[in-house]
Amino acid sequence: MLASQLVSAGSSSSGKVDLTIEGWHWPVLIGVLGVLLLVDILVIHREAHEVHTREAAIESAVWISIGLLFGLVILWEFGAAAGGEYYGGYLIEKSLSVDNVFVWAVLFSHFQVPKQYQHRVLFWGIFGALAMRLGFIFAGVALINNFKFTLILFGLFLLYSGIKLLQTHDEGFDPAKSKAMKVFHRFVPSTDKLDGQKLWTVNELGKHVATPLLAVLVLVEITDVIFAVDSVPAVLAVTNEQYIAFASNAFAILGLRALYFLLADMRDRFKYLQTGLGVILAFVGIKMTLSYWWHMPIVASLSVITMILVVSIFASIRSGSDAQH
């Protein structure tokens, strides 16, 4: 019964939900996100401190719970089909963002950012990411609604990205030598000295200069743009609604900081995670391409994505256990 509701309730001719967004829906969503960010930065992480595994695990559980609970709000307000699309978008974004977490680990390690200051950088990074995702999602939905053939283009791009992710392996990366950093240091007066968790400071000459934390923040934002090129079209493969797409992205992204402190040092334990993410991208790409002619039920999409994640994580854990014996 529930499966049939997820497929049909509130569906448009494309097989995806077609919502009527009231004037108060967006302000409430933005307000909830704003309150969560303020509580996080002004209460929980007001004082700079190192986030240990136990604290990160608790915060991760809380953020995931908040994201899942908001899905129930979507389901109650808009129906089962909308709830299914929200959870589909949330799962896709959460899965693909894991790679972003490991890139942050490389950046912080390279620039030797003390652990007690890392959360502040990620807070502003997430704040910027939310704004950029909103712009990407509105642009992507507008393109799909006005030029339906872009579904095929987005789908083929995701399929290509998935295949490329399956074929590539980690390579040495020096953030300090990237083009972005060269441009940054050329136009922004900088110092290599930290001043607590400040992004800007005053040097010996009395001039305002950027600390290394600002340079890392710039790279964090750039990496989010790069990952958004994959993740936003992937989320739009399961929903055409800007409200659902942004909400699922936002709640998945909010928990990334806690997930970073939980997983940053565990990349070697997830040997097959990159393979799983590549398969997910390829699957979503094929699904999006086919959606020009046929829409796969959201229950089927969620089942396939969940199965791929479970198999890749289980295979990684199993591989790690075998290596120890």
Average confidence (pLDDT) over 103-118: 83
Residue 192 CB contacts under 8 Å (≥ 6 apart), including other chains: 212
For residue range 186-237, what is the model confidence (pLDDT) as tens digits? 788 888 787 888 888 887 777 888 888 888 888 888 888 877 888 888 898 8
Residue 5's pLDDT is what? Answer: 38
Q: What does the domain layout of the chain look like in residue ranges?
A: 2-324
Give pLDDT, residue 46. 85
What is the CB neighbour count within 10 angstroms for residue 258? 23
Structure tokens, 251: 């709640």
Q: Which residue reads 């704003």 in tokens?
A: 34
Question: Is the per-residue pLDDT at 151 higher than 50?
Answer: yes
Q: What is the pLDDT of residue 8?
A: 37
% residues pLDDT > 70 (the chain): 88
**pTM for this one?**
0.80
Q: Are 67 and 90 in contact (CB under 8 A)?
A: yes
| For residue 59, pLDDT beyond 50 | yes
Helices (H), 12-113: 25-39, 53-78, 80-110
Structural contact between residues 5 and 80, judged by C-beta atoms closer than 8 angstroms: yes
Collect all residues with Cβ–Cβ distance below 8 Å to 53 and sequence separation of at least 6: 261, 262
- Residue 6 pLDDT class (50, 70, 90 cuts): very low
Calculate the dihedral angle through the C-alpha atoms of 33, 35, 38, 39, rounding to the nearest 10 degrees.
-110
Residue type, 81: A
Mean of pLDDT values over 265-282: 79
Percent of the chain at pLDDT > 90 equals 22
The terminus-to-terminus CA distance of the chain in angstroms comes to: 47
Q: Is the pLDDT of residue 174 over 80?
A: no
Query: Residue 323: pLDDT band by 50, 70, 90 thresholds?
Result: low
The encoded tokens of residue 186 equal 């050329």
pLDDT interval class at 243 (50, 70, 90): very high
The helix (H) or strand (E) run that includes residue 319 is helix 298-324
Distance, CA of 155 to CA of 152 (rounded, Å): 5
**SS3 (DSSP) at 152:** helix
Q: How far apart are CA 93 and CA 7, in angstroms?
A: 21
Q: Is 303's pLDDT higher than 80?
A: yes
> Is residue 3 predicted with pLDDT exceeding 50?
no
| Four-residue CA torsion sign, 254, 133, 298, 155 | negative
Q: Is the pLDDT of residue 170 over 90?
A: no
Residues 93 and 231 sit within 8 Å (Cβ to Cβ): yes
How much is the mean pLDDT over the chain? 83
Number of helices (H), then strands (E), belonging to the chain: the values are: 12, 2
**What is the band of 248 on the pLDDT scale with cuts at 50, 70, 90?**
very high
Distances (CA, A) of 140 to 164, 210, 232, 280: 22, 34, 8, 20
Question: Residue 47: pLDDT above 50?
Answer: yes
Calpha distance 107→113 (Å, rounded): 9
When comparing pLDDT for 177 and 32, which is higher?
Answer: 32
Q: Give the position of tokens 């791929």.
A: 308
7-27 per-position pLDDT tens digit: 334 555 456 788 888 989 999
Q: Are 51 and 119 in contact (CB under 8 A)?
A: yes
